[in-house]
Amino acid sequence: MSEIVKSKEELLLELNGLKKENELLRALHKNPPIVSDHILLAGEVYRDVIENMGKGSAYCKMLYADNQPNDFIYIEVNTAFETLTGMKNIKGKKNSEAIPGVHGADSEILEVYSRVALTGKPENFETHFKALNIWFSISVTSPQKDYFVAIFDNITQNKQAEKSLVETNNLLSSVIEGTNIGTWVWNVQTGESSFNERWAEIIGYTLEELAPVSIDTWTKLVHPDDAIKSAELLNKHFNGTLNYYDFDCRMKHKNGHWVWVRDRGKVKEWTNDGKPFIMTGTHSDITERKNAELIIRNNEQKFRELINNLQVGVLLHDHQTKILVNNPKALELLGLTEDQFLGKTSFDTEWNVIHEDGSPFPEETHPVSVAVSSKISVKGVVMGVYRPLRADRVWLLVDAFPELNINGTVRQVVVTFVDITDLKNAEKEILLKNEQLTILNSEKDKYFSIIAHDLRSPFNGFLGVTELLAQDINNFTLAEISNFMSMLNKSGTNLYNLLNNLLNWAKMQRGEVEIKIDALCINDILRENVDLISLTATQKEISITVLCESSTEVLADKFILNTILRNLLSNAVKFSYRGSKINVSVSAVNDSFIEVAISDSGVGMSKKEIDKLFKLNEKVSSKGTEDEASTGLGLILCKEFVEKLGGEIWVESEEGKGSSFKFTLKKALQH
């Protein structure tokens, strides 16, 4: 708009400058004798004054029909006329000839020209010359009646710019109204300000209630803390540090509460000495957004506290699988500090992730990688993770949940995991117990099979003898009866020993054997058990020799030690030949253990038989040198009892040359 006004002013100045020339024209054309004389005189004037003028000029005479102006003739035009209108060679032509149909389309122009030509009063006007589709700014004067001079300029571009500006202003007004934004203009040097109605409405006022308005209006309404920050930002904008002023502030509402406003602006004009002059900006109500942000922050804080207190490890990965965030439980489970997490992925090689079967966990099968590639959740993956700082392995149950962007790509992956190491160990323990139980059940079945078989023979003999005696005792001699009674005694003794061992073994399996460790003199214990077995040994003419220092003490349970020695001595007598010897010796293994050896020169055993000893699931029962019964249960009981006392038992034997059963016991501390 300012450009348009200036061009008009320039035109008026030029018109004033032409007054003298117009007066000269009027004098020259007063009482013209003929048209040709006027043309001559006008041409001389144009050559001297108007020809080089930048604006178009036309010297014309009105033409009448029935005493009414209906056309005009071009007497003289300058070069600028032809340039601005695009009309060539029109001198001496009527306007209707130069521009056919002009009268109907542009009758308003003809009216102005005729009025000036008749009255002699100059007129200035702007018009859209429809025939040429050009906007003109025209000044018309009359040197004498029926003649006029039109000086004009093409203002089409100005009009188009003016139209565009109006349209832009209308559009801007619509945008401002549609976006519900308050606007402000501030003269930084004087403090004068203007606001639109929406600016006042945001804080509950009308402009009329706030009048008169100035920068003080804003200063009084803004929160004091925000006013300080606003001043800092304005100074940065004024000194060029910030291109724009942009600040979220609180303003006091008419009802007394605070309203959040986004205040944005920019200096549009500066003074000649570089100071901010005119600044414009907007206010938008962002209270709802700020309240929503506050709710989100509160929820985020609560969520973070919840995550941090969870007894579940939580990791947040980016779309490239790098760890971004972790909670304390994740640090604890993986044995790292927060700094040590930086830059890692969940499949870092130092974690040596494995499957349950011990096979490696390839990167592409890791839950995070699968969640990124498939964009779906992965749940219940068991992973064994090595912890370098603790040098151990933890078993984790892992879930991975991808979070997607609007376009469907993965933004991040949330991984949760719990420690199932105890569960895995318990599973292993259960599997081990099941295996042991299966073995025990199998051994039990075999054991009862052995017991049933071994009990049958003594009972068959026992029943057979008692049956003979019951049916025909009077027909037997006293010597025969004595022999039968000896047989019954042997059967009873074997049955007693078998049942006693069975009872002790059963107690051992049920954990009912109470162990009481004392310091015992091994020499005394040996001799007590040798005395118990001496009768049986004497009947087979077998001698037993004990070699042991009288001061040697061991740590053992007396009942258990007696059971071990009784079984081993009984076996030695059972499998020794009549008239042979049994040696019992005690020797030091080291500072902590002694070795007890019970050796005979009896039948001995093969390698195959030795391998079956001490095993419940192996059949090892065999007859003694004089057909004594044996189940092998005694050796199994000896093995378990020796191990209960912290020692070991083994046998050295050669078929036909005898056997030596040896076991170790812990030494008692010497005083």
What was the pLDDT predicted at 583? 94
What was the pLDDT predicted at 164? 73
What was the pLDDT predicted at 667? 92
Least confident interval from 111-120, 237-246, 525-534 = 525-534
Taking CA atoms, 508 is separated from 156, 445, 562, in Å, by 119, 17, 15
Mean pLDDT calculated for residue range 274-288: 92
What was the pLDDT predicted at 666? 94
Q: Which two tokens stand for residue 663?
A: 């076991």
543-547 vs 581-588, strand pairing mode: parallel
Looking at the predicted structure, is the pLDDT value of residue 29 above 50? no
Whole-angstrom distance, CA of residue 177 vs CA of residue 190: 28
What was the pLDDT predicted at 544? 93
What was the pLDDT predicted at 611? 85
Q: Pick the most confident of 95-109, 408-422, 492-506.
A: 408-422
Q: Which residues contact 644 (CB under 8 A, 6 or more apart)?
A: 508, 513, 515, 557, 560
Which amino acid, residue 16?
N
- DSSP E strands, 211-252: 245-252
Per the rule left: phi > 0, alpha: psi between -120 and 50, beta: everything else, 415 is: beta
Looking at the predicted structure, is the pLDDT value of residue 588 above 70? yes
Q: Which residue has the higher pLDDT, 346 or 460?
A: 346
What was the pLDDT predicted at 82? 86
Tell me the pTM: 0.39
Q: Which residues contact 416 (CB under 8 A, 6 or more apart)?
A: 312, 313, 314, 315, 398, 399, 401
Q: Which residue has the higher pLDDT, 326 or 446?
A: 326
Element holding 312 (H helix, E strand): none
Residue 361 near residue 349, CB atoms below 8 Å: no
Mean pLDDT calculated for residue range 79-100: 86
Mean pLDDT calculated for residue range 478-486: 78
What was the pLDDT predicted at 491? 66
Say yes or no: domain 310-419 is CATH 3.60.15.10.
no
Which amino acid, residue 514?
E
Confidence class of residue 361 from pLDDT cuts 50, 70 and 90? confident
Looking at the predicted structure, is the pLDDT value of residue 621 above 80? no
What CATH number does the domain located at 505-667 have?
Answer: 3.30.565.10
Q: What's the chain's average pLDDT?
A: 81
pLDDT tens for residues 286-320?
Answer: 999 988 888 888 877 877 777 777 788 888 888 88
Q: Which residue has the higher pLDDT, 600 or 107?
A: 600
Taking CA atoms, 617 is separated from 443, 620, 653, in Å, by 5, 9, 21
Looking at the predicted structure, is the pLDDT value of residue 28 above 50? no
pLDDT above 90 coverage of the chain, percent? 32
Q: Which residue has the higher pLDDT, 267 or 28?
A: 267
Q: Please name the fold of domain 2-161.
A: Beta-Lactamase (3.30.450)
CB contact burial 223-233 (16+ within 10 A = b; e otherwise): beebeeebeeb
Residue 618 near residue 608, CB atoms below 8 Å: no
Least confident interval from 41-50, 321-330, 558-567, 634-643 = 41-50
Q: Is 270 exposed, middle or buried (0-12, 13-18, 19+ CB in 10 A)?
A: middle
Is the fold of 2-161 the same as that of 505-667?
Answer: no
What was the pLDDT predicted at 610? 86
What was the pLDDT predicted at 18? 46
Give domain limits for the chain: 2-161, 180-291, 310-419, 505-667
Confidence class of residue 20 from pLDDT cuts 50, 70 and 90? very low
Mean pLDDT calculated for residue range 452-468: 65
Confidence class of residue 172 from pLDDT cuts 50, 70 and 90? low
**Nearest CA to 321 among 368, 356, 361, 363?**
368
**Nearest CA to 545 among 516, 521, 522, 569?**
569
Looking at the predicted structure, is the pLDDT value of residue 505 above 80? no
Whole-number CA gyration radius for the chain:
62
Residues β-bridged to residue 322? 345
Spell out the CATH class of 180-291.
alpha beta
Confidence class of residue 481 from pLDDT cuts 50, 70 and 90? confident
Q: Which residue has the higher pLDDT, 648 or 129?
A: 648
Looking at the predicted structure, is the pLDDT value of residue 7 above 60? no
Residue 135 near residue 126, CB atoms below 8 Å: yes
What was the pLDDT predicted at 454? 54
Mean pLDDT calculated for residue range 343-359: 80
pLDDT tens for residues 368-419?
Answer: 889 988 989 999 899 888 887 788 888 999 999 999 998 889 888 998 888 8
Element holding 82 (H helix, E strand): helix 79-85
Q: What is the largest CA-CA distance in the chain?
A: 202
